[in-house]
Amino acid sequence: MGRIKKFRLFTGSMLVAAALASPVLQAQETAKFALFHDFTKVYTFVADEISQGQRDYVTLINEEGGIKGYKFEALVRDHGNEPQRGIELYNRAREEGVVYYNFFSTPVSNAIVPRALQDKVVLGMPLTGRADAIVGEVFPYVFPMMATYWSQAARILQYIEESEGGLKGKKIAYVHIDSPFGREPIPIVDKLSRQKSFELRTFAYPSPGNEQSAVWSDVRRYRPDHVILWGAGNAQLVSIREAVRNGIDPAKMLSVVWLTETDMKNVGERTAIGIKRAEVVKPGRDHPIIQRILDKVYKAGKGAGPEERVGSSYYNYGVADMVVTFEGVKLALEKFGPPLTSEKLKLGLEMIRDLDTQGFMPPVTITEQDHQGGGYARVSQWDGKAWVPVSDWAAAFQDVVWEQARESAAKFNQTK
Amino acid sequence: MDFLFLLELFINGLNTGLMYSLVALGITMIYKASGVPNLAQGAMVMIAGYLLWATIALLGLPLWIAIPFVVVLMFLFGLAIERWLLRRMVGQPVLMIVMLTLGLEILLRGVGPGVFDAAPKRLDLGLGLAPLVVADVFINRAYLIGAISAGILILLAAAFFRTRLGTKLRAVSDDHVASWAVGISVERAIGISWGIAGVAAVGAGTLWGSVQGVDWTLSALLFPAIAVVILGGIDSLLGVFVGGIIVGVLGSVIPGYLDPIVGGGTRDVVTSVLIVLTILLRPYGIFGREDIERV
């Protein structure tokens, strides 16, 4: 056999081998998710648990064989709630070929938004970031995915309206940390106060909220029918303690999502029985998704943190973020096939219709126009041991929320 | 004007201010003994809070044993800071030493949550949440006890500086070289002052930790404590007491009336204005000693 013939045979057999091996290579394809957090500054109260939930769900998907030949890798890094560090991490992750980004920090996410839009990469912003990013036409690559703070505030007011037989004439105190996060829902609450004819008074306490006594003296004297709490971390604990010290009935208090089992244990489990909160994900372990994580991740010793955290409210928020994202991945790969890119993931997320999580989350529908997923939330109440739902999932006053969102998004469009 | 509201703001502000004094006490103790303004005191309060929580929750010790145990730990921690960090700075400009304490504050802020987990911790002293109601004025019981404790600790600190050891520390503060010349161990004296600041941090960490829980935000108490020492005079224990009351009362009463008008958040503005005005009008504070240097 001549040399040239030998070479051709060798080359041909290599090509055949490569062709045969390609499904194997495809099965080993890895997609990277950047699941960055503030582990060291402001969001420390939530970062560990949410990150653990995200990573455990990624491990679960991998343990179950991945999706359409893809395995997934969670890149976990600390940005310290600093936009500049966030941008540096973003640039590095871009070079590493990340397809999904979530910074879980309002200032960092907001700093990344223009870059994500320009680079056409998917930026998940559940429970953080710009509330107007629900407007898909203006923010095509940004996905809040769950009820924003505006929708949560609206749902809280709708709950009061339903349970009290109307809002007219009620006195509502809105007590908030004096930060962009604390002030964010005020335009919505204010609009609804005029629309529904209830009296609204806002009370701000300085960040980080470790001393609020003067504010709560004032709240007590205002004699509100209901108090809406808009804080996070230890500030929430101080708020509840001060409210109780001032004789305010916990059953009249309703909080943003940032109030969990851990917070209630720190306040004292029986200190504020009856307090309510907005909820966007079911807490606890009594759910097939969480049971799958316990069975396939923790029994295999592959958990990302302490097992006792599994099922906490914050942990489940992290899981929920990944549940929606992986649904988008699945739809994208089914429709467009590999390779998985951020552009395909965007389209996949926008194909999600009535995502059925068997009650883990409200039904999620994301469209090209609506990146909020429908804006559903419910209200749950602390019974001394656990959070018990006292309302159904519902999207409240979305006309007001979307009017505000479109107005704000239009301003963003003009200035970008 | 609602007099009862004003009275309530005044009393709760007074109590809160004295709680700030607890944090400020550590700064003054070190300054009086070594002439170093310690910007790591907020983080030391946080570390003391974490250690007390860990001693109770993880080691299972009862509160009455846990507190003296942590007092010893924090005294040793203060000594260690002096031995391993401050002693290396002998002969360096004061500004560099201040920067070192600031660096230490930032480091400890990260280390505390890193070691003990960032989630807020509960520190229950069994004080209950029921307020003390006097003539329709609601007085925060925890803050009242904190204020009384602060007063007692400040008196104890004043008494300490009249002891033989306290006199040595004051001498060291006045002049390191002269102290050496008369046989006082300057290093040991400064070490003891840091140890005592660690002990003062236990008082603040315990009481503040009980009212707000233990997490990194305890270190944010540094800001009002700085206002207290600037206003009262950084080398004056009486200044710590009076400065705390002024910062607390003004930080309660003014926002109580101003916040509803401007939309809130004026307490930090009040504190900042107090700092600026004091530095402009009376740089050594109300009771601070004005040093005159011959050139």
B263 pLDDT exceeds 80? no
Domain boundary among A257, A279, A301: A279
Is B80 a domain residue? yes
Instruction: Report yes or no: B285 at the A interface, CB cutoff 8 Å.
Output: no
pLDDT mean by block of 10 residues, chain A; 416 residues: 50 46 54 94 86 98 95 96 94 96 94 96 94 96 97 98 96 93 94 97 90 90 96 91 93 96 89 96 96 97 96 96 98 95 97 95 96 97 96 97 96 84
Instruction: Report yes or no: B272 at the A interface, CB cutoff 8 Å.
Output: no
Query: How far is it, in rounded angstroms, from Cα B24 to Cα B225?
Result: 5
Instruction: Tell me how many domains chain A contains.
Output: 2
> Cβ separation of A266 and B120 shorter than 8 Å?
yes
Is A199 a domain residue? yes
The dihedrals phi and psi of B95, each to the nearest 5 degrees, come to: -60, -40
Q: Which 142-161 residues of chain B touch chain A by CB within 8 A? A: 143
A333 and A353, same domain (yes or no): yes
Query: How far is it, in rounded angstroms, from Cα A70 to Cα A325?
Result: 14
In a mutational test of the B interface, the residue from A50, A217, A312 whose CB has the highest number of chain B CBs within 10 Å is A217
Packing angle of the helix pair A149-164, A186-196 (nearest 10 deg): 30
Identify whether the C-beta of residue B224 lies closer than 8 Å to the C-beta of residue B251: yes
Q: How many CA atoms lie within 13 A of A264 on its CB side?
A: 25
Q: Which domain holds residue B116?
A: 3-218
Instruction: Report yes or no: B219 at the A interface, CB cutoff 8 Å.
Output: no
A275 and A158, same domain (yes or no): yes
Is A8 a domain residue? no
B1 pLDDT exceeds 70? no
Instruction: Report yes or no: B8 at the A interface, CB cutoff 8 Å.
Output: yes
The dihedrals phi and psi of B289, each to the nearest 5 degrees, come to: -85, 130
Is B251 a domain residue? no
Packing angle of the helix pair B3-34, B237-262 (nearest 10 deg): 140
- Residue A294: which CATH number? 3.40.50.2300
Residue B107: per-residue pLDDT: 93
Q: Give the C-alpha distances (Å, rounded to integers) separating B29 from A116, B161, B247.
A: 52, 9, 19
> Cβ separation of A45 and B120 shorter than 8 Å?
yes
Give the closest residue to A125 by CA, choosing from A104, A98, A94, A100.
A104
Instruction: Report yes or no: B130 at the A interface, CB cutoff 8 Å.
Output: yes
A160 and A266, same domain (yes or no): yes
Only one residue has tokens 């996905």, namely: A143
Is A388 a domain residue? no
**Closest Cα of chain A to B235: distance in Å?**
26
Residue A19: per-residue pLDDT: 44
Is A217 a domain residue? yes
Q: Which residue type, as a one-letter code, is found at position B21?
A: S
> Cβ separation of A45 and B13 shorter than 8 Å?
no
Is A196 a domain residue? yes
Residue A21: per-residue pLDDT: 42
Is B252 a domain residue? no
Smallest CA–CA distance from B11 into chain A, residue: A214
Q: What is the DSSP letter of B287?
A: S
The dihedrals phi and psi of A279, each to the nearest 5 degrees, come to: -135, 135
A136 and A223, same domain (yes or no): no
Nearest Cβ partner of A266 from B118, B213, B216? Answer: B213
Residue A98: strand, helix, or coil: strand
Is B264 a domain residue? no
Instruction: Report yes or no: B6 at the A interface, CB cutoff 8 Å.
Output: no
Residue A75: per-residue pLDDT: 97
Instruction: Between A9 and B155, name the one with better pLDDT.
Output: B155
A129 and A175, same domain (yes or no): no
Is B231 a domain residue? no
Is A3 a domain residue? no
Nearest Cβ partner of B138 from A246, A266, A268? Answer: A246
Residue A414: per-residue pLDDT: 84
Instruction: Tell me how many domains chain B contains.
Output: 1
**Residues 6+ away with beta carbon under 8 Å from B116:** B50, B53, B54
A219 and A252, same domain (yes or no): yes
Give burial (CB, 10 Å; 0-12/13-18/19+) of A176: buried
Q: What's chain A's length in residues?
A: 416
Instruction: Report yes or no: B104 at the A interface, CB cutoff 8 Å.
Output: no
Residue A17: per-residue pLDDT: 45
Domain boundary among A256, A279, A302: A279
A132 and A161, same domain (yes or no): no
A194 and A337, same domain (yes or no): no
Instruction: Report yes or no: B120 at the A interface, CB cutoff 8 Å.
Output: yes
Query: How far is it, in rounded angstroms, from Cα B265 to Cα A211?
Result: 12
Nearest Cβ partner of B256 from A47, A214, A235? Answer: A214
What are the chain A neighbours of B211 within 8 Å (beta carbons)? 238, 241
Query: How far is it, in rounded angstroms, from Cα B52 to Cα B125?
Result: 11
Nearest Cβ partner of A246 from B13, B131, B211? Answer: B131
Query: How far is it, in rounded angstroms, from Cα A152 to Cα A159?
Result: 10
**Closest Cα of chain A to B132: distance in Å?**
9
- Chain Cα centroid distance, residue A415: 26
Q: Tens digits of per-residue pLDDT, B41-99?
A: 999 999 999 999 999 999 999 999 999 999 999 999 999 999 999 888 877 888 899 99
Query: How far is it, in rounded angstroms, from Cα B218 to Cα B48?
Result: 10
Q: Name every residue in A having a CB less than 8 A away from some CB of B.
A: 39-40, 44-45, 47-49, 178, 201-206, 208-211, 213-215, 217-218, 220-221, 233-235, 237-238, 241-242, 244-247, 262-263, 265-268, 271
Nearest Cβ partner of B268 from A206, A238, A263? Answer: A206
In a mutational test of the A interface, the residue from B14, B20, B134, B138 whose CB has the highest number of chain A CBs within 10 Å is B138
> Cβ separation of A234 and B213 shorter than 8 Å?
yes
> Cβ separation of A210 and B2 shorter than 8 Å?
no
B223 pLDDT exceeds 60? yes
**Neighbour count for residue A326 (Cβ, 10 Å):** 19
Identify whether the C-beta of residue B202 lies closer than 8 Å to the C-beta of residue B225: no
Nearest Cβ partner of A44 from B16, B118, B252? Answer: B118
Is A409 a domain residue? no
**E strand segments, chain B:** 132-134, 137-139
Is B191 a domain residue? yes
Q: Which domain holds residue A160?
A: 150-279
What are the chain A neighbours of B223 within 8 Å (beta carbons)? none
**Which token pair is A387?**
């959070």
ipTM of the complex: 0.80
Strand partners, A31: A72
What are the chain A neighbours of B249 within 8 Å (beta carbons)? none
In a mutational test of the A interface, the residue from B137, B212, B269 whose CB has the highest number of chain A CBs within 10 Å is B212
Instruction: Report yes or no: B220 at the A interface, CB cutoff 8 Å.
Output: yes
CB pairs under 8 A between A and B: 122
Is B150 a domain residue? yes
Instruction: Report yes or no: B129 at the A interface, CB cutoff 8 Å.
Output: yes
Residue B173: per-residue pLDDT: 79
Instruction: Report yes or no: B252 at the A interface, CB cutoff 8 Å.
Output: yes
**Closest Cα of chain B to A29: distance in Å?**
34
Query: Helical H runs in A96-226?
Result: 106-119, 149-164, 180-183, 186-196, 213-222
Identify whether the C-beta of residue B265 lies closer than 8 Å to the C-beta of residue A206: yes
**Most distant pair of Cα atoms in chain A: their distance:** 101
Residue A42: per-residue pLDDT: 78
**Closest Cα of chain B to A241: distance in Å?**
7
A121 and A199, same domain (yes or no): no
3-state helix, strand, coil in chain A (%, to 5): 50, 15, 35
Query: How far is it, in rounded angstroms, from Cα A224 to Cα A222?
Result: 6
The dihedrals phi and psi of A350, each to the nearest 5 degrees, come to: -75, -5
Instruction: Report yes or no: B103 at the A interface, CB cutoff 8 Å.
Output: no
Is A9 a domain residue? no
A237 and A344, same domain (yes or no): no
What are the chain B neighbours of A213 within 8 Å (beta carbons)? 12-13, 16, 140, 143, 252
What are the chain B neighbours of A234 within 8 Å (beta carbons)? 120, 212-213, 215, 217
Residue A123: per-residue pLDDT: 98
Least confident window among A246-255, B178-187, B230-239: B178-187
Domain boundary among A279, A300, A316: A279
Nearest Cβ partner of B122 from A221, A233, A265? Answer: A265
**Closest Cα of chain B to A411: distance in Å?**
24
Q: What is the DSSP letter of A105?
A: -
> Cβ separation of A214 and B138 shorter than 8 Å?
no
Q: How many CA atoms lie within 13 A of A221 on its CB side?
A: 20
A41 and A158, same domain (yes or no): no
Residue A24: per-residue pLDDT: 40
